[in-house]
A and B are shown apart, each in its own frame.
Chain A
Amino acid sequence: MELKGYTDIYLQKNTSAAVLAVFRIALGLLLFISILRFWSNGWIADLYITPQYFFPFYGFEFVKPLGAYTYVLFGLCALSALMVALGWYYRVAMVSLFLSFTYIELIDKSTYLNHYYFISLICLLMVFLPAQVYFSVDAYRNKSIHCDLIPQWCVDVIKLMVAILYVYAGIAKINSEWLLHALPLKIWLPARNDMPVIGFLFNKSWVHYAFSWIGCIYDLSIPFLLLSRKTRVLGYVAVVVFHVLTSLLFPIGMFPYIMIVTALIFFPASFHEKILSVLQKTLRLPKLIGAGVKTLVYSATSLQYFKYGFIVFFALQLLMPFRYLLYPGDLFWTEEGFRFSWRVMLMEKAGYAQFTVKDSSGKKAFVNNTLFLTKLQEKMMATQPDMILQYAHILRDHYASRGFQNPEVYVDAYVALNGHMGRTMIDPTVNLAKEKESFNHKSWIVLYND
């Protein structure tokens, strides 16, 4: 049982509690800022209050928009984030942050972003990690929970999650469109050619290829560069340069900053201890840093729970992105198994969906999408089959209430993917009112290679 021996030895390795404390503070503050930014941009109203209809995730239809109370939800989320940063009622705050943040993200598919999913997962992990035992209000008020050392695995699970994100994002880029045709960067980069100094480069074909290849290699290698002591600084410089560049080029919001800060977790304990001691001095905080002897020890039973819990969690993380293999057709076209897989900035997709509703008595309507959906919702719906189906059901119910007998819903969906000429995505003869959502393949998608 050599492996078991290694596991036991590993599970007993310790590291400074400062690593997780710094991560806790950074995560809390970044999320707090993210929510303020979201709020001040007016996006709470635009995305969660103004729309008449919403697109919940399959299996999460119970998640409903809260109307004006959405502000309360965001307020709770912001407050929780701040409490997490302070380490004040940490466990409660972390659970509340995870639930409120995830609830918001589940309201409408149109707003789905991979980094929101990443934050939800990190928050879930943090619920179970001892991030409050050091440099926190909790540990200050209750000295008995204070610990200087925590098990090494408590930090490594975060690193593993970060590594999965990068490596899977890299694997997703290993496809002929990305590597052999430099798509979609070939489409996106020229749109930034008016940037000062470097803008002219974005018109050049070799730059599109260089960005594509470097992006792919970057994603695949960054976790390993950060893990190794010798390459860590180089790796971190790469993280900063890459993410700053992407934030200048693309409208990806807080994501670059979140990744830049998250990558700090790969630095050694001494680095984090230094941050905390600087923080303590500048803010003139009371003594929060211990003598460095007390170790957090979990009971054998808790360790077993943690072990199997994490095995299940990470097995899911490793398998989920490959679920697309269970579906026929081109993944980018059908998007069956596309989300929750770290497929970021992978395709340029645009669509135009014209719906027709009719009933047995001869009533017919040519649907004007702008009367039902916001611009963002319409844009997202027009290219994603599962959202087209949800919208068809919204239309079915709407027209049924307007006196249509068993309304039938048909769509003429024209979609262009990565600069290829647009074509029909949905079988125009299929009555979508009767089709049901499921994890099965949607037979009414016209496959790309037909």
Chain B
Amino acid sequence: MVFYTRYMMHHKSLQTYLVILCTSLLWACTGSKHEPITADNGYDRAAMLTNIADEIILPSYARFKGKLDLMVSQSDSFATKPSAESLVKLRQTWVDAYVEWQKVELFDVGPAEIYTLHSYLNIYPTSTTAIETNISTGTYNFGLPTSYPEQGFPALDYLINGLGATDDEILAKYTTAADAAKRISYLKAVVTQLNTRFIKIYTEWTTNNYRATFISKTNMDIYSSTSLLVNGYVLNYERYIRSGKFGIPSGAMLTDGTTAPEKVEAYYKKDLSLTLAKTAHQASLDLYNGTSALTGTQGPSLRKYLLALDAKDTKTGVSLVAEIDSQFVKVADRLNVLKPNLAEEVSTNNQAMINTFDEMQKLVRLLKVDMTSALSVTITYTDNDGD
């Protein structure tokens, strides 16, 4: 009897289908009256990408470049004439550049992703033994992945903050110590490498106009700017903010909870780690909100896009944007009760570190699962039939 399907079609059923088709079209069309039409077109991904490129990424890169230039010239002064004064100045320019770096580390898209800028600039804990070996042998290859922990801001942290208990002790390593000249040359090599790595990315965005490419790829496939930006942004928050700054040192990611205070960022500077974490968290919020690094006003953003999509739980009516907004605040609240030295917090007040990690974990889920799903961001490139 299964062979009889071809005789099942009757005119009546055809008419029924046509009637259903027409009424559904009518019904669907009337539904449009309820849609609020807003002047602010949050749907426009080209506008969003333009805002992010021109108001956030480019000015942040330019500002970071300014801080980096100061650090480079100060390291030259220090190398030429190591003194208590030039050490203090170098340290301050390092602090300023490191803080500014937190505002650009999250742009793991385009050239920064291709040339793995993060890996060269901010892998910690730094390897002090490898650094000492490099200094004494004078041979090292900063291009190798194994050398990541021997360069970047963490290596400088060790070289200008970690060589002694006092500035005099540190200075002695660059002046009276037997390997002082070698150490100076290593310090310069680290600074040069850091600068070179960044300039490569900066040139791509400016001289080679990656900006135009970034803005033009408005679709949502795996190579689109929105996909790359969001994937990099979420990865940065998950791996480098949540895990790197809190999860690993606090032991929150290990079920036996072994703490590792020496694994905090800027460990040798001691009082900088919280500032770095707060800056990185704020930068993530600013990118999400489309907050201009120039004027502080909010333009087209991921947040506005989610609002335009009306991303909400159809069962509970909970708005995804409201959830994300409130979770950003909860993380900030946790950060605000911490003391400046996170290594000290791990040793004496680790529960506060774990609490921060837990709230960050909730934010990661919202960004990585709920937000990317609502945006329809592509993760893979193969065929898909949606199941």
* Interfacial residues, chain A to chain B (CB-CB below 8 A): 3, 7, 10, 43, 46-47, 111-115, 153, 156, 159-160, 163, 177, 181, 183-184, 187-188, 190-194, 203-206, 209-210, 213-214, 217, 220-221, 223-225, 227-228, 231, 250-255, 310-311, 314, 318, 338-339, 343-352, 356, 358, 362, 364, 366, 375-376, 379, 414-416, 418-422
Contact = CB atoms under 8 A, between A and B. Distances in A.
Nearest to A318: B2
Contacts of B375: 191
A187 B385 contact: no
Given A190-B309, A252-B385, A420-B315, A350 B372 contact: yes
29 contacts: A46-B382, A111-B382, A159-B5, A163-B5, A184-B386, A191-B220, A203-B43, A213-B24, A214-B25, A217-B21, A217-B24, A223-B5, A224-B14, A228-B9, A231-B14, A250-B384, A251-B383, A255-B383, A314-B2, A339-B387, A344-B385, A350-B369, A352-B364, A352-B368, A375-B380, A419-B373, A419-B374, A420-B316, A421-B370
A224 B385 contact: no
Contact of B256 (A184, A364, A415, A416): A364
Contacts of B45: 193-194
B365 to A, nearest CB: 5
A227 B386 contact: no
B254 A366 contact: yes
Interface of B: 1-6, 8-9, 13-14, 17, 20-21, 24-25, 27-32, 34-35, 43, 45-46, 218-221, 253-256, 308-309, 311-316, 318, 320, 323, 364-366, 368-370, 372-376, 378-387
Given A193-B43, A352-B368, A415-B369, A345 B312 contact: no
Given A204-B35, A348-B386, A419 B25 contact: no
B369 A221 contact: no
A416 B386 contact: no
A330 to B, nearest CB: 11
Contacts of A251: 221, 378, 381-384
A346 B5 contact: no
A351 B27 CA distance: 34
A356 B255 contact: yes
Q: Name the 8 nearest CB pairs between A and B, nearest first.
A: A253-B383, A206-B32, A350-B373, A191-B376, A345-B386, A191-B220, A210-B28, A213-B24
A252 B370 contact: no
Given A343-B387, A345-B385, A414-B369, A181 B314 contact: yes
A254 B382 CA distance: 11
Contacts of B5: 156, 159-160, 163, 223, 227
Contacts of B365: 352, 414, 422
A271 to B, nearest CB: 16
A362 B256 contact: yes
Contacts of B381: 251
A199 B255 CA distance: 49
A187 B14 contact: no
Nearest to B320: A421
Contacts of A209: 27-28, 31
A420 B313 contact: yes
Given A114-B385, A191-B376, A209-B27, 5 more contacts: A111-B382, A205-B32, A418-B314, A420-B315, A421-B323
